[in-house]
Amino acid sequence: QVQLVESGGGLVQAGASLRLSCVASGLTFENYNMGWFRQVPGKERDFVAAISRSSSTRYGDSVKDRFTISRDNAKNTVYLAMNSLRPEDTAVYFCAARRYTIPTTRDGNYWGQGTQVTVSS
C-alpha cells in the first residue's frame, strides 16, 4: 500500500528556515505528482506547494517566494524548503501524492500522517 512519511518539522523562531521531507513507498514515485498541504485546528487543509512528474511547480499565494518544493526520484522523496518563516505558517504539514494530476486540491490524494511546524514570534 502507498505510504508517505513526513519529517523535519519542529519549533523555530520567526525568520528561521526549515526543510520538510516526505519519503514515499508502495508506488512508482517518478509516476506521481507530489504536493504539500497544511492544516491548523478547526480549519480546512490548505494547498501549499506541488511538483509535477516533470518537476514543474506551483505554490499557494501565501508562500510564494519563501517556500521551494523539490523532488529526488532516486530517493523517492519530496522536499519543502521553508524560508523566512512566520507565525502564521504554524500548522501540521501533510505530504500528498496523486497519479494523474497535480495535487492542488484536497480530493483524490494519498496522504501522509503530517509533521508539526510551529513558528514563534
**Model pLDDT, residue 3:** 98
Encoded amino acid at 56, one letter: S
Q: Which three cell numbers stand for residue 96?
A: 500528498
What b/e sequence results for 2-16 when a residue is b if at least 16 CB atoms lie within 10 Å of its CB, and e otherwise?
eebebebbeebeeee
| CA nearest to 75, candidates 114, 21, 9, 111 | 21
**Model pLDDT, residue 69:** 98
Mean pLDDT of the chain: 97
| CA nearest to 63, candidates 46, 77, 49 | 49
**Model pLDDT, residue 36:** 98
pLDDT in tens, 40-91: 999 999 999 999 999 999 999 999 999 999 999 999 999 999 999 999 999 9
**Model pLDDT, residue 48:** 98
**Model pLDDT, residue 29:** 98
